[in-house]
Amino acid sequence: MRSIITTPAASASRNSIGNELIWDQDWLVGCFCPSQSGPLWRIYFPPRNAYNMVLHKYGEKLYSGLVTTMTWHLKEIAKSIEAAQGGLFLEELNRKWGDHNKALQMIRDILMYMDRTFVPSNHKTSVHELGLNLWRDNIIHTHKIQTRLLDTLLDLIHRERKGEVINRGLMRNITKMLMDLGSSVYQEDFERPFLEVSASFYSGESQQFIECCDCGDYLKKAERRLNEEMERVSHYLDAKSEAKITSVVEKEMIANHMQRLVHMENSGLVNMLVDDKYEDLSRMYNLFRRVPEGLSTIRDVMTSHLRETGKQLVIDPDRLRDPVDFVQRLLDMKDKHDKIINVAFNNDKTFQNALNSSFEYFINLNNRSPEFISLYVDDKLRKGLKGVTEEDVEVVLDKVMMLFRYLQEKDVFEKYYKQHLAKRLLSGKTVSDDAERSMIVKLKTECGYQFTSKLEGMFTDMRTSQDTMQGFYASQYSEMGDGPTLAVQVLTTGSWPTQPSAPCNLPAEILSVCEKFRAYYLGTHTGRRLTWQTNMGTADIKATFGKGLKHELNVSTYQMCVLMLFNSADCLSYKEIEQATEIPASDLKRCLQSLACVKGKNVLRKEPMSKDIAEDDAFFFNDKFTSKFIKVKIGTVVAQKESEPEKHETRQRVEEDRKPQIEAAIVRIMKSRRVLDHNSIVTEVTTQLQSRFLPNPVVIKKRIESLIEREFLERDKADRKLYRYLA
């Protein structure tokens, strides 16, 4: 095909070829022919020709000629691609695409002038884009190629998912081609159907997995699938497809099966928690966090599991028998779940909060928790921390403090702590003074000075007492002679949890030393009053049994009083002992029981033999007492879990102590607010006091009534729900 173009004579006079320009479509064909390159096509159609044509207003002709030629050519190519057999189809397409690109490059170079001037001024599509559009319309969007291409691509991906190896390079070239043809071509002709097919693939696969896998395996499979898809995108898909395909996998494999997964029998979340399956838990966390509600699903199941097991633990009557074990189990449970959250749950704050709130919930279900926590500390400070380094002590105490923080009734803990500390200090049983003080400091930091001032007072008393005893013996050195050695601890009233008790009758030799001490002490501290707390003391006495066997008996003061009676008598009735010592009956019975009824410690003999002490029993000095130890410890005063009546009594004391605190809070609030309604008072009082305990609204109400009666407050005459402060 040839066309002869005659140009006006005035222009292009310097054209070396002459005034005639030849438009030869063959050069274009040449461009598309891969065997020709570079120098050859210049012969057919030097760029100058194109330049001249545009210059002489034949641009339109040149452009339409290009479109016609290229379209014609591409139709030919389409035929050859269609003809490609089976697997060669993609390769053929890919090769033709490569050729087309190269040709397009050449054409653009040749027609550069047209591209720069004619195209923009006539709002035509640029040569390169035109080439792509024509490729799209004549190759990709032809009926035969379009479906075949899509089916081939999807089939290859499916085969890869099934484990076959496919030519990823080819895949990459083809998808690249689709992207080059415009993002809408990629999306419409490939991505959308790809996502649809993937969704149905994963929906089917997840259904199959969930029926036959346990939770851990399922998650492993889901994780692998997810990684595969991401890898696929990085190898041969558009990067923008990653979010889309992963969300398909997430939805089909995770979100749709979340509830079933966490609750899966024998392998669900609870089992993982119980068995410390850090890897599985971590996998679950990382997968679930990808879907909405995922983490809250885990958290909710974990919370209800924690609450349930915690509740079982704290209300189990078996656990209540051993307070130390009880607390240790709580600590172990906390450690275990702390570790899980740390290792598997990315130290997620919301999970930590869930753990804390669960502990707070169930620890307070048992109103003995404060007592038991204090007993645990007592056990540790009494013996448990022997030979443990200072740092380890701190760790244990810090853990206890953490439990302490969960307590609602901190004042109850304080009460017990005071009792237990007193017993430790007075019996000299505390292992480490540093540890004791460290604990006090921690309590102080947590609850303020008020909380610990009395506890600190106890330490001061202990120190002062030591000095006092030294002073006493220094002054009495000459006249002490062979008498018993006395160790007195002078306790400040109010700082110590002393129960008022009538003193018993001490043996004469003890009494004389006591009197000497009283005289010495009051001599230096005038105006004070000393009361002997005989119920709290201990004594070491030396005893000689039959065949001259000597033992040192470590007993309580009460027991000492009883035993001393047997210096002058071999047999005493219960009544006689009671009269001579004046020990309160319940204490006396307990003390006689420990002296006469415990095997290996029975320095007394009882008639009739029985486990319990009766009013008409008779007691004998047990001449036949033997023990393999020189020192025999009888009936030690170890802090123990309180009995029911004692517990009740402590409870009442706590309630009594709360009354003034609640009243003080009400008065403080009313003083600043002057007028306030009932419910606001209750709320504010609760807020003010909750660092120490959770006041009962009924108790608050009773305190308000009492304050009205005592004319600190009055009810508003008009609105009976309002209270006024009466200054």
Q: Which two tokens stand for residue 413?
A: 């803990």
Beta carbons within 8 Å of 176's beta carbon, 6+ residues apart: none
Q: Closest CB to other proteins among 575 and 702?
A: 702
Among 382-390, 406-414, 570-578, 716-724, which window interacts with other proteins (CB under 8 A)? 716-724
d(CA 675, CA 702): 18
- Cα-flanking dihedrals φ and ψ of residue 6, to 5°? -100, 125
Residue nearer to other proteins on the CB measure, 84 or 722: 722
DSSP per position, 91-126:
HHHHHHHHHHHHHHHHHHHHTHHIIIIIHHHTTPPP
The secondary structure of residue 505, as a DSSP letter, is: P
Pick the piece of the chain touching other proteins (CB under 8 A) from 86-94, 101-109, 113-121, 702-710: 702-710
Work out whether strand 618-621 and strand 550-556 pair parallel, antiparallel, or are unpaired: unpaired
* Binding to other proteins in span 144-203, by CB under 8 A: none
Q: How far is the CB of 364 from other proteins (least distance, A)?
A: 23
Interacting span for other proteins (CB under 8 A) from 150-158, 249-257, 506-514, 694-702 = 694-702
Cβ 710 to other proteins shortest distance, Å? 9
Rounded to whole angstroms, the Cα distance separating 612 from 174 reads 97
Half-sphere exposure (Cβ direction) of 163: Cα atoms closer than 13 Å: 0
Q: Does 718 bind other proteins (CB under 8 A)?
A: yes
Whichever of 159 and 702 has its CB closer to other proteins, that residue is 702
Q: In the complex with other proteins, which residue's Cβ is closer, 271 or 680? A: 680
Where does 213-316 have alpha helices with state H? 215-236, 241-249, 258-262, 269-274, 278-288, 294-315
Binding segment for other proteins among 200-208, 258-266, 623-631, 710-718 (CB under 8 A)? Answer: 710-718
For residue 571, CA distances in Å to 129, 159, 623 come to 123, 101, 12
Query: Which residue lies nearer to other proteins by CB, 569 or 726?
Result: 726
- Residue nearer to other proteins on the CB measure, 525 or 721: 721
**By C-alpha distance, which of 444, 374, 446 is closest to 405?**
446
Query: Which of 632, 618, 625 lies closest to 570 in space, CA to CA?
Result: 618
Nearer to other proteins, 102 or 715 (CB): 715
CA distance 574 to 615: 6
- Measured from the CB atom, is 460 or 652 closer to other proteins? 652
Closest CA to 352 of 314, 305, 302: 302
Pseudo-torsion of CA 69, 72, 73, 77, nearest 10°? 160
> Of residues 155, 709, 712, 725, which one binds other proteins by CB under 8 A?
709
576 token code pair: 């006689």
For other proteins, the closer of residues 579 and 679 by Cβ is: 679
Considering only 153-161, 617-625, 654-662, 705-713, which stretch makes contact with other proteins by CB under 8 A? 705-713
Q: Residue 141 and residue 134: Cα distance in Å, rounded?
A: 10
**Whose structure tokens read 């269609």?**
82
Return the structure tokens found at 602: 């029975």
Q: How far is the CB of 684 from other proteins (least distance, A)?
A: 14
Q: How far apart are CB 296 and other proteins at their closest, in Å?
A: 33
How far apart are CB 649 and other proteins at their closest, in Å? 21
Tell which one of 263, 336, 525, 702 touches other proteins (CB under 8 A): 702
Among 1, 212, 239, 698, binds other proteins (CB under 8 A): 698
We find the least distance from the C-beta atom of residue 709 to other proteins, in angstroms, to be 5
Looking at beta carbons only, is 24 or 677 nearer to other proteins? 677
Smallest distance from the beta carbon of 389 to other proteins, in angstroms? Answer: 54
Handedness of CA 24, 25, 31, 37 (dihedral sign): negative
Contact 105/34 with Cβ under 8 angstroms? Answer: no
Would you say 276 or 677 has its CB closer to other proteins? 677
- Closer Cβ to other proteins, 386 or 717, answer by number: 717
At its nearest, how many Å lie between other proteins and the CB of residue 672?
18
Name the segment binding other proteins (CB under 8 A); options: 345-353, 454-462, 608-616, 697-705: 697-705
Q: Measured from the CB of residue 720, what is the shortest distance to other proteins in angstroms?
A: 6
Write down the least CB distance from residue 678 to other proteins, Å: 3
Least distance from C-beta 426 to other proteins, angstroms?
A: 40
Whether residue 628 contacts residue 394, with contact meaning beta carbons closer than 8 Å, is answered with: no
**Interface region with other proteins, contact rule CB under 8 A, candidates 330-338, 506-514, 663-671, 703-711:** 703-711
Give the angle 178-181-185 at the CA atoms, nearest 5°: 65
For the CB of residue 349, give the shortest distance to other proteins in the complex, in Å: 35
654-683: contacts with other proteins (CB under 8 A): 677-679
Q: Which is nearer to other proteins, 164 or 709 (CB)?
A: 709
| Cβ atoms 189, 149 nearer than 8 A | yes
Pairing verdict, β 550-556 and 631-633? parallel
Which range binds other proteins by CB under 8 A, 131-139, 569-577, 591-599, 718-726?
A: 718-726
The least distance separating other proteins from the CB of residue 701, rounded to whole angstroms, comes to: 5
Question: How distant, in Å, are the alpha carbons of 259, 372, 480 from that of 643?
Answer: 46, 13, 42
Amino acid at 598: V
621 forms beta bridges with 604
Segment lying near other proteins (by CB under 8 A), choices 84-92, 392-400, 540-548, 715-723: 715-723
Q: Is 50 exposed, middle or buried (0-12, 13-18, 19+ CB in 10 A)?
A: buried
- Which range, of 486-494, 521-529, 606-614, 712-720, touches other proteins by CB under 8 A? 712-720
Cβ-based nearer residue to other proteins, 630 or 698: 698
Residue with Cβ nearer other proteins (328 or 696)? 696
Name the 3-class secondary structure at 17: coil
CA distances from 541 to 84, 551, 559, 630 (A): 112, 8, 10, 12
Give the angle subtended at the CA of 192 by the CAs of 167 and 226, to the nearest 5°: 60
Closest CA to 414 of 404, 425, 403, 400: 404
Please give the size of the binding site for other proteins, defined by CB under 8 A.
Answer: 14
Measured from the CB atom, is 43 or 727 closer to other proteins? 727
Strands 20-24 and 713-715: unpaired
List contacts with other proteins (CB under 8 A): 677-679, 698, 701-702, 705, 708-709, 715, 717-718, 720-721
